[in-house]
């Protein structure tokens, strides 16, 4: 049997998904693929990092994903984790905003929302007039804030859309590209002329599945995939350089000077690392990858005993409007969301800091972060109870920002990759920041490469 060699750089979910799907696709075409994943860190998972300590389970990165994606379902099956998927409790539907010194529930009904005090009467009237606002003829890459202000009014842009953008991207709505960050919103306007009309027309057609996590935490998927995926993983192996040869590629590892040969290579690292690996091969793709900002995020998990229950609502969590004298971007109420996140009766709050609106957070050390988080959590909930558990995860560069011009950067990377057969780039820096997006992009990338390698090996095509 023909054996081709594939090296994947990076054992985050995108890299592992690419490794698994490339091997599967090639095998289906009768070509055995020897796949090696090289990972800089000590363990697999990348941003998906689950810490279990003293009866608490803390996610350092993603805490859940939107279910119903076929690629993610396939990865769960391959990892033997289908029965470990846990949907979020019904309480997860309750979402809150902290504004003008108070926690306010974002009620789904128009009357409930109007009464929440999140927006003024003028702001509500402007929001309600959205279906009357004509479709835009703009052809430039509009920011999320400009789009929201145009369609929903400036107040909704500031008080609803900006905190939501912080919640999803730790991003600045005034800088992110609507088309790249929220393509579904752009499509609603394009297809229905209005967000409200579009949402009404699509009522009942869910575009995404339920919010889901895994019993053993999010890192259990990368761990199990690495175990059962049919490929090899080498940790503590940082790739320093990738070179083209007459017959394929060599991948050089930092430190020991090892250079491994491969027929194809997938780069599945964060975009700034991909930029440095691609630079000797294609400067324009490297410039495009290097121009994707990745600000720092610090996650502080605070666990409380049941005495805090009266002060911390049951729900998904709270987003904090800017200008509230609180530095946190928001909190997730992990023990309300999923089972097994803390000891019986315990309440786990995950506070997020930093992002594109507060890059200086990266300068605070662990002790300073704990002091800040304790103070702000106490202020937010008017809480006197002291935390019984604490854990800090500092990410120097966390979530890629799809700022204006992102689509052009992705196109530059795709053009470069197209011109270098046997090379692929995947990961959350390019076509979707969510865990499910990264997983799906990895599966598609591996699938495509596996097919090309198989076609090439079986002689049906001279080109990869």
Ligand X SMILES: Cc1cc2nc3c(=O)[nH]c(=O)nc-3n(C[C@H](O)[C@H](O)[C@H](O)COP(=O)(O)OP(=O)(O)OC[C@H]3O[C@@H](n4cnc5c(N)ncnc54)[C@H](O)[C@@H]3O)c2cc1C
Residues that bind ligand X (CB under 6 A): 9-15, 38-41, 46-48, 61-65, 238-239, 268-270, 273, 297, 299, 395, 398-399, 427-428, 433-436, 438
Give the closest residue to 305 by CA, choosing from 279, 268, 275, 344: 344
Nearer Cβ to ligand X (128/209): 209
Strand partners, 264: 6
Q: DSSP secondary-structure letter at 131?
A: G
- 50 contact partners, CB below 8 Å, separation of at least 6: 57, 58, 59, 60, 216, 217, 218, 219, 220
Q: Cα(279)–Cα(206) distance, rounded to whole angstroms?
A: 41
CB of 318 to ligand X, least distance (A): 15
In a 13 Å sphere around the CA of 168, the CA atoms on its Cβ side amount to 17
| C-alpha 398 chain-centroid distance | 9
Distances (CA, A) of 378 to 332, 383, 391: 15, 4, 16
CB of 428 to ligand X, least distance (A): 4
CB of 109 to ligand X, least distance (A): 26
Strand order in the sheet with 259-262: 239-244, 249-253, 259-262
Nearer Cβ to ligand X (279/311): 279
Nearer Cβ to ligand X (222/248): 222
CB of 455 to ligand X, least distance (A): 26
CB of 348 to ligand X, least distance (A): 14
CB of 382 to ligand X, least distance (A): 27
Nearer Cβ to ligand X (163/436): 436
Q: Cite the DSSP H helix spans in 158-231.
A: 162-169, 178-181, 183-192, 195-201, 220-228
Taking the CA atoms of residue 35, residue 37, residue 43 and residue 48 in that order, the dihedral angle to the nearest 10 degrees is -100
Give the closest residue to 210 by CA, choosing from 36, 64, 56: 64
Q: Cα(107)–Cα(114) distance, rounded to whole angstroms?
A: 9
CB of 41 to ligand X, least distance (A): 4
CB of 395 to ligand X, least distance (A): 5
Nearer Cβ to ligand X (133/168): 168
Q: Cα(168)–Cα(183) distance, rounded to whole angstroms?
A: 14
Nearer Cβ to ligand X (68/193): 68
CB of 63 to ligand X, least distance (A): 5
Nearer Cβ to ligand X (189/441): 441
Using an 8 Å Cβ cutoff, are 260 and 51 in contact?
A: no
- The structure tokens listed for 430 are 């390019």
Strand partners, 318: 96, 331
Nearer Cβ to ligand X (64/446): 64
Strands 317-320 and 330-333: antiparallel
Nearer Cβ to ligand X (372/383): 372
């Amino acid at each position: 049997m023909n054996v081709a060699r594939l090296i994947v750089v990076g054992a985050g979910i995108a890299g592992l998904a690419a490794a698994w799907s490339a091997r599967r696709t090639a095998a289906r075409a009768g070509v055995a693929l020897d796949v090696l994943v090289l990972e800089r860190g000590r363990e697999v998972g990348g941003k998906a990092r689950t810490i279990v300590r003293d009866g608490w389970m803390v996610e350092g990165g993603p805490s859940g994903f939107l279910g119903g994606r076929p690629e993610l379902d396939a990865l769960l099956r391959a990892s033997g984790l289908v029965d470990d998927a846990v949907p979020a409790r019904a309480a997860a539907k309750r979402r809150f905003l902290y504004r003008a010194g108070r926690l306010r529930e974002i009620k789904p009904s128009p009357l409930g929302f109007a009464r929440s005090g999140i927006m003024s009467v003028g702001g509500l009237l402007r929001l309600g007039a959205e279906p009357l606002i004509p479709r835009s003829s703009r052809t430039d890459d509009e920011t999320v804030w400009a789009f929201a202000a145009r369609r929903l009014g400036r107040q909704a842009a500031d008080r609803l859309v900006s905190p939501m953008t912080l919640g999803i991207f730790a991003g600045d709505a005034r800088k992110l590209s609507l088309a790249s960050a929220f393509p579904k919103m752009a499509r609603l306007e394009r297809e229905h002329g209005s967000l409200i009309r579009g949402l009404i027309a699509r009522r009942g057609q869910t575009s995404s599945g339920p919010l889901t996590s895994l019993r053993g935490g999010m890192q259990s998927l990368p761990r199990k995939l690495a175990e059962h995926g049919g490929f090899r993983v080498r940790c503590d192996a940082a790739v320093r350089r990738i070179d083209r040869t007459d017959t394929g590629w060599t991948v050089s590892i930092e430190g020991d000077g090892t250079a491994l040969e491969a027929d194809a290579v997938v780069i599945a690292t964060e975009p700034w690392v991909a930029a440095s690996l691609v630079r000797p091969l294609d400067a324009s793709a490297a410039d495009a990858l290097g121009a994707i900002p990745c600000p720092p995020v610090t996650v502080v998990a605070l666990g409380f005993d049941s005495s805090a229950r009266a002060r911390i609502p049951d729900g998904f969590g709270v987003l904090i409007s800017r200008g509230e004298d609180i530095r946190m971007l928001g909190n997730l109420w992990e023990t309300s969301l999923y089972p097994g996140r803390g000891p019986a009766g315990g309440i786990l709050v995950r506070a997020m800091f930093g992002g594109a609106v507060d890059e200086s957070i990266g300068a605070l050390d662990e002790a300073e972060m704990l002091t800040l988080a304790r103070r702000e959590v106490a202020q937010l909930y008017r809480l006197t109870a002291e935390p019984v558990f604490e854990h800090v995860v500092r990410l120097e560069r966390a979530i890629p920002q799809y700022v204006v011009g992102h689509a052009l950067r992705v196109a530059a990377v795709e053009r470069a990759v197209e011109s270098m057969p046997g090379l692929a780039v995947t990961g959350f820096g390019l076509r979707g920041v969510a865990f499910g997006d990264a997983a799906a992009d990895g599966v598609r990338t591996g699938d495509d490469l596996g097919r090309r390698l198989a076609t090439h090996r079986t002689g049906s095509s001279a080109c990869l």
